[in-house]
């Protein structure tokens, strides 16, 4: 497994983007060091391997890279008299912009990398499509450093779109030449803040790349500060795209085709479109350059990155209502906005330089006038203040104050000027509060203290509020009479917007709400969303005791009392499971849909059954529950109900003879829970729709992740008081899946799909927008409960090892083959005796086990298809879930040929490499696979082992799941295999999944072993030999197929 790294490198040899690959284990050190004191980095990928890896993730990437050695300084320590470098990730994730060298406990030593320079155009095209948060499938992982530069690249496109770049010139290599280029213009508050944010987020290793000449001593240069590295990259980015403009927009070049060639304007224009071109110094070109310098003068410190003082504007409220406002200005330190010197102070000190807070302001009067002149271009209303030789500010009437707030302040701040506002207006400008709006007092209607729903209307009263104060109509009228867009309330200045005044006047005129207030509205307010009612923003919420308790519980401010072992539950709920049951019960009480998204193996099935028993124990009028699941787990649900909740009358709606229409309604009335599959929901929708269900439960709810499929649309048409989704897939990685599931639970809660894509999915997935991510997480958190096995509050409740039996159904093809073998074999067994009879029995067992695995194994075919085997269907579902969760699994089978088939099939299905170890695996390859599985963080997540070859002598503790695809029927042997993962060195809970085909000899033998588990090793310790001693009648009972366990092809 390889991690792809890279960075923008600046130095005496120029500026390049350097890419290299890091392997998980040291390779052969075959490269030649460019200096005898610079050793090859032992984990670096060879250049040829790097090119191959690049081609696997992006067409053209491999051809766009040119081999070149580079150096990276890394913390290094001594072990056994050998220098050992730490990986790049060992450097602090966050950079310290003030530090020239990061403090490290180890010595920083340069190591030589075998990577190369990559063509900038190809790299930028790849960066555009690189996901910012998702992991890359396959054997190549994208390092955090490259994802960082991908963020910067997207910022670069944003700067291009906003025109935030200016022409610039710098001295060329020859004194008679000047170099023409473009520079990023980071003059706005937003862009300066973004630069500082990225500087603090920069992975520290990016500062320690450097190139060396062969004759150069291997000294580590002082690393560039993050801001410099970022702006230099943005500079190259912008110049690259400006250089592409003639190709992208041919009209630009054609504009000058008929102009006189060789004159100064033509040369200047061509130089601007050919960044980094050199222009000869002539009288004409010098005139152009002088003009450019004059034009850039006001913003030159911003462009060059020098410490600067900028003009600021301060809006000063009047001392009394009768007086005018004033707008004053002065100079402000861009990096320290609190350092200000007013215009009055500047004019009082007519000097070439002023010192303020130990910083020198050169030519302060000229700087002030130049800045004011630029500000007038941005906001012409300031021109009045420049009519005096020494401007100090200007008076503003109410209308001018409003214009400044709405237009001037925005334009000036975006153009890089400072703003100082009265506190109330500053908060109003940045957070939209305080302002004129509605303060709501809400309560749950008495008749709805149970069973509410997001769309339910609440009892409420609303008042007009300004700032933090409720207002009477007389107080409001007095403020309106002032005819001022900004008023003072309780010592704080607040903006009065015309549209808010009109809405408030209409409110006072009618005193009647034309819209209702729903629980969804209140929940939006409680989670920080902006809500508008009656055309006025909601600026405050007071909830009564019951509603406050509901909101506190939904937003996690109040802990729910756990529900432990409800009546009829056969088992013992763990503490976290009891909390899960109480969470379901709480949401059911208010008819608010729930998504239980706990990690695989934490017992979602058990929690649901305990919840249903809890509802049953309340002795309320209770309708049946409809549970929809994949066909592959119908049998498991049926068995789990019998085991943990035998008091629930269950019916499996499945098979070609299943009842429909009124016959189904009669059947439903006799049962507590109806089990069916996703495929049958659509086919039997007309029979299921008329039934009023108490609960609808979707197991493996990711089956409705595509909202346009027939089954996804069908489940939304069913009628239920309470809806539950069960899934073990991390929803945050798949936002459209999250939307689809939440839209099933609460239709419309997240808006329609196009709105959700625009508001959340695109900003988060494409641009890594953490603000949108946090807003979405806060908004959906009340309805999603996800606990991980690694959570400290969970892991202490778990046993070290959990064993689970996974019951699978046979396909029709498997059932037909199975019955054919049983029929013929029983005849052969009955007509034989002694060793011949034992041989027939063992051969029969092998054939039946192969059929239970997959028909292709029995028929000696070369490939697998999931639809032909219930085991394989369920295996793929479970493996995909654990891979998504970042887990690893061992998969045991008795048969080497089945292992090979599984390896090929699973590699295709998962898109990941799968290891397979059998008795024929050479020792070096065996050791290499085990070593990589244990040590490589990006190793294949699935390791298939034949039971004989992998059952002993291996340490595979990186796996936390063990699958027994087929059974040895010897607990000692199976436990020995399981102990490859569950042994000393294992730090996580291990889950063991034993696959059994229902209705076959596998289930019957499994039942016998479970009944005699205490004596299992003595009773059945010889594997399958004990079966050969059974008489024919007992053997017949063991082998005959129960046809109720067959998968109906219609339900696949």
Average pLDDT of the residues in 272-278: 81
Average pLDDT of the residues in 657-681: 93
State the virtual CA torsion across 65, 70, 74, 80 in degrees, nearest 10: 100
Percent of the chain predicted with pLDDT > 90:
31
Positive or negative torsion for Cα 351, 353, 356, 358: negative
Residue with the larger pLDDT of the pair 30 and 635: 635
Secondary structure in 3-state letters for 727-761: CCCCHHHCHHHHHHHHHHHCCCCCCCHHHHHHHHH
Write out pLDDT tens, residues 91-116: 433 333 333 333 344 577 888 888 99
Q: Is the pLDDT of residue 883 over 80?
A: yes
d(CA 147, CA 150): 5
**pLDDT given at position 96:** 33
| Location of structure tokens 């549970």 | 627
Tell me the range of 200-204, 255-259, 471-475 where mean pLDDT is highest.
200-204
d(CA 633, CA 616): 24
Residue 351, classed as helix, strand or coil, is: coil
**pLDDT given at position 233:** 95
Write out pLDDT tens, residues 733-778: 578 889 999 999 999 889 899 999 888 888 877 766 777 888 888 8
Distances (CA, A) of 357 to 338, 361, 573, 658: 11, 10, 65, 85
Q: Contacts from 682-686 at CB under 8 Å and sequence distance 24+? A: 682/710, 682/711, 682/713, 682/714, 683/1050, 684/653, 684/658, 684/660, 685/714, 685/717, 685/718, 686/661
Secondary structure in 3-state letters for 774-815: HHHHHHHHHHEECCCCCCHHHHCCCCCEEEEEEEECECHHHH
**pLDDT given at position 90:** 43
Average pLDDT of the residues in 303-323: 78
Q: Is the pLDDT of residue 795 over 90?
A: no
**pLDDT given at position 93:** 34
Neighbour tally for 205: CB within 10 Å: 25
Distances (CA, A) of 446 to 116, 454, 513, 658: 72, 16, 20, 44
Buried b (16+ CB within 10 A) or exposed e, 669-691: eebbbbbbbbbbbbbbbebbeeb
**pLDDT given at position 238:** 93
Lowest mean per-residue pLDDT among 138-147, 608-617, 899-908 = 138-147
Phi and psi of 302, rounded to 5°?
-65, -45
Percent of the chain predicted with pLDDT > 70:
86
Q: Provide the pairing of β-strand 719-726 with 594-596.
A: parallel
| Location of structure tokens 């019957």 | 1004
CA-closest candidate to residue 75, choices 43, 100, 107, 101? 107
d(CA 944, CA 947): 9
1028 pLDDT tier (thresholds 50, 70, 90): confident
Token pair, residue 994, equals 């034993």
DSSP state letters, 214-280? TTS--PPPPPPPHHHHHHHHHHHHHHHHHHHHHHH-THHHHTTTTSPTTSHHHHHHHHHTSTTEEEE
Lowest mean per-residue pLDDT among 268-272, 449-453, 828-832, 876-880 = 449-453
d(CA 651, CA 626): 10
Phi and psi of 839, rounded to 5°?
-60, -45
Q: Is the pLDDT of residue 446 over 80?
A: no
Residue 354, classed as helix, strand or coil, is: strand
Write out pLDDT tens, residues 217-228: 667 778 888 988
Q: Is 562 exposed, middle or buried (0-12, 13-18, 19+ CB in 10 A)?
A: middle
Distances (CA, A) of 209 to 61, 88, 204, 224, 427: 21, 11, 10, 10, 43
What rounded mean pLDDT belongs to the chain? 82
Secondary structure in 3-state letters for 18-66: EEEEEECCCCCCCCCCCCCCCEECCCECCHHHHHHHHHHHCCCCCCCEE
Write out pLDDT tens, residues 562-592: 899 999 999 999 999 999 999 999 999 888 9
Q: What is the pTM of this model?
A: 0.76
Phi and psi of 529, rounded to 5°?
-75, 150
Q: Is the pLDDT of residue 1015 over 50?
A: no
CA-closest candidate to residue 577, choices 556, 558, 596, 552? 596
Tell me the range of 943-947, 979-983, 1013-1017, 1045-1049 where mean pLDDT is highest.
943-947
**pLDDT given at position 559:** 78
Average pLDDT of the residues in 440-444: 84
**pLDDT given at position 293:** 76
Distant-in-sequence, close-in-space partners of 98: CB < 8 Å, separation ≥ 6: none
Average pLDDT of the residues in 445-458: 73
Token pair, residue 828, equals 């052969």
Distances (CA, A) of 694 to 625, 673, 713: 5, 10, 20
Average pLDDT of the residues in 383-393: 89
Q: Packing angle between helix 144-161 and helix 189-201, nearest 10 degrees? A: 170
Lowest mean per-residue pLDDT among 497-511, 638-652, 737-751 = 497-511
Q: Reply yes or no: is the peptide bond before residue 434 cis, omega within 30 of 0.
A: yes
**pLDDT given at position 996:** 94
Neighbour tally for 491: CB within 10 Å: 8
Lowest mean per-residue pLDDT among 522-531, 664-673, 978-987 = 978-987
d(CA 137, CA 318): 63
């Amino acid at each position: 497994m390889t991690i792809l790294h890279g960075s923008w490198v600046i130095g005496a040899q120029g500026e390049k983007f350097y890419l290299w690959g890091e392997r998980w284990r040291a390779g052969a050190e075959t490269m030649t060091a460019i200096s005898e004191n610079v050793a090859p980095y032992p984990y670096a990928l060879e250049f040829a391997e790097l090119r191959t890896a690049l081609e696997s993730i992006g067409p053209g990437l491999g051809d766009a890279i040119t081999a070149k050695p580079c150096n990276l300084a890394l913390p290094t320590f001594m072990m056994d008299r050998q220098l050992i470098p730490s990986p790049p990730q060992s450097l602090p994730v966050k950079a310290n912009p003030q530090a020239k060298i990061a403090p490290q406990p180890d010595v920083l030593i340069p190591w030589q990398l075998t990577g190369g320079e990559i063509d900038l155009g190809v790299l930028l095209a790849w960066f555009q499509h690189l996901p910012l948060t998702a992991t890359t499938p396959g054997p190549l992982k994208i390092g955090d450093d490259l994802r960082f530069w991908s963020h910067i690249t997207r910022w670069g496109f944003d700067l291009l779109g906003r025109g935030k770049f200016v022409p610039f010139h710098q001295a060329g290599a020859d004194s008679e030449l000047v170099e023409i280029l473009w520079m990023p213009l980071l003059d706005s508050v937003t862009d300066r803040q973004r630069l500082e944010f990225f500087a603090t987020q920069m992975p520290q290793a990016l500062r320690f790349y450097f190139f060396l000449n062969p004759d150069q001593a291997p000294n580590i240069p002082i690393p560039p500060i993050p801001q410099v590295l970022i702006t230099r990259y943005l500079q190259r980015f912008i110049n690259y795209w400006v250089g592409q403009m003639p190709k992208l927009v041919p009209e630009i070049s054609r504009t000058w085709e008929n102009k006189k060639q060789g004159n100064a304007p033509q040369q200047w224009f061509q130089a601007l479109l050919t960044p980094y071109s050199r222009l000869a110094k002539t009288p004409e070109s010098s005139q152009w350059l002088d003009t450019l310098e004059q034009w850039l003068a006001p913003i030159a410190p911003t462009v060059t990155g020098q410490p600067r003082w900028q003009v600021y504007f301060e809006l000063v409220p009047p001392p009394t209502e009768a007086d005018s406002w004033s707008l004053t200005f002065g100079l402000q330190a861009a990096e320290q906005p609190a350092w200000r010197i007013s215009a009055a102070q500047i004019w009082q000190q007519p000097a070439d330089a002023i010192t303020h807070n130990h910083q020198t302001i050169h030519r302060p009067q000229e700087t002030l006038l130049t800045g004011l002149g630029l500000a007038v271009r941005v906001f012409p209303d300031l021109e009045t203040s420049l009519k005096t030789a020494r401007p100090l500010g200007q008076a503003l009437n109410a209308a001018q104050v409003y214009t400044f707030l709405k237009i001037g302040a925005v334009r000036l701040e975006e153009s890089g000027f400072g703003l100082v506002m009265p506190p109330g207006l500053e908060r109003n400008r940045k957070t939209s509060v305080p302002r004129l709006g509605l303060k709501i007092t809400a309560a749950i209607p008495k008749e709805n203290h149970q069973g509410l729903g997001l769309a339910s209307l609440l009892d409420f009263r609303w008042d007009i509020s300004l700032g933090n104060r409720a207002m009477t109509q007389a107080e409001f009228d007095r403020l309106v009479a002032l005819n001022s867009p900004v008023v003072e309330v309780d010592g704080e200045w607040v903006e009065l917007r015309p549209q808010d005044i009109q809405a408030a006047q209409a409110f006072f005129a009618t005193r009647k709400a034309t819209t209702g207030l729903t629980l969804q509205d209140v929940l939006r307010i409680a989670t920080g969303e902006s809500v508008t009612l009656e055309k006025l923003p909601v600026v405050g919420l007071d909830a009564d005791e019951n509603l406050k308790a509901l909101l506190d519980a939904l937003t996690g401010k109040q802990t729910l009392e756990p529900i432990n072992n409800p009546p009829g539950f056969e088992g013992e709920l763990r503490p976290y499971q009891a909390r899960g049951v109480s969470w379901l019960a709480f949401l059911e009480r208010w008819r608010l849909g729930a998504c239980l998204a706990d990690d695989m193996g934490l017992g979602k099935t058990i929690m649901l059954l305990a919840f249903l028993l809890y509802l049953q124990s309340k002795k309320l009028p209770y309708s049946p529950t409809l549970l929809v699941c994949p066909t592959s787990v119908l049998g498991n649900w049926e068995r789990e109900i019998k085991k943990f909740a035998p008091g629930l009358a269950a019916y499996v709606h499945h098979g070609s003879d299943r009842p429909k229409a009124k016959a189904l309604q009669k059947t439903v009335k006799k049962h507590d829970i109806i089990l069916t599959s996703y495929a049958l929901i659509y086919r039997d929708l007309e029979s299921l729709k008329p039934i009023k269900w108490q609960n609808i439960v979707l197991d493996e709810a990711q089956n409705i992740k595509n909202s346009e499929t027939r089954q996804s649309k069908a489940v939304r048409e069913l009628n239920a008081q309470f809806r539950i989704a069960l899934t073990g897939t991390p929803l945050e990685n798949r936002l459209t899946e999250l939307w689809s599931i939440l839209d099933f639970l609460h239709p419309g809660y997240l808006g329609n799909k196009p709105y959700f894509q625009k508001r959340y999915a695109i900003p988060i997935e494409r641009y890594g927008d953490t603000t949108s991510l946090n807003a979405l997480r806060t908004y959906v958190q009340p309805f999603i409960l996800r606990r991980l096995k690694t959570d400290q509050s969970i892991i202490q409740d778990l046993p070290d090892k959990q064993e689970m039996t996974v019951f699978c159904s046979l396909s029709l093809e498997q059932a037909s083959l199975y019955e054919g073998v049983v029929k013929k074999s029983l005849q052969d067994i009955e007509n034989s005796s002694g060793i011949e009879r034992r041989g027939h029995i063992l051969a029969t067992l092998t054939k039946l086990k192969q059929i239970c695995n997959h028909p292709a194994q029995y028929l000696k075919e070369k490939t697998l298809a999931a639809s032909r085997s219930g085991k394989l269907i369920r295996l793929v579902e479970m493996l995909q879930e654990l891979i998504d969760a970042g887990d690893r699994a061992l998969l045991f089978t008795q048969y080497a040929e089945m292992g090979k088939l599984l390896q090929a099939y699973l590699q295709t299905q998962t898109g990941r490499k799968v290891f397979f170890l059998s008795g024929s695996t050479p020792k070096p390859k065996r050791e290499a696979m085990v070593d990589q599985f244990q040590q490589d963080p990006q190793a294949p997540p699935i390791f298939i082992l034949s039971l004989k070859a992998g059952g002993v002598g291996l340490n595979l503790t990186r796996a936390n799941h063990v699958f027994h695809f087929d059974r040895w029927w010897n607990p000692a042997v199976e436990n020995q295999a399981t102990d490859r993962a569950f042994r000393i060195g294992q730090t996580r809970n291990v889950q063991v999944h034993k696959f059994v085909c229902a209705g076959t000899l596998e289930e019957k033998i499994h039942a016998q072993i479970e009944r005699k588990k205490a004596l299992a090793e003595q009773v059945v310790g010889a594997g399958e030999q004990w079966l050969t001693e059974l008489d024919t009648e007992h053997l017949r009972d063991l082998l005959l197929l129960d046809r109720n366990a067959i998968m109906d092809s219609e339900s696949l």
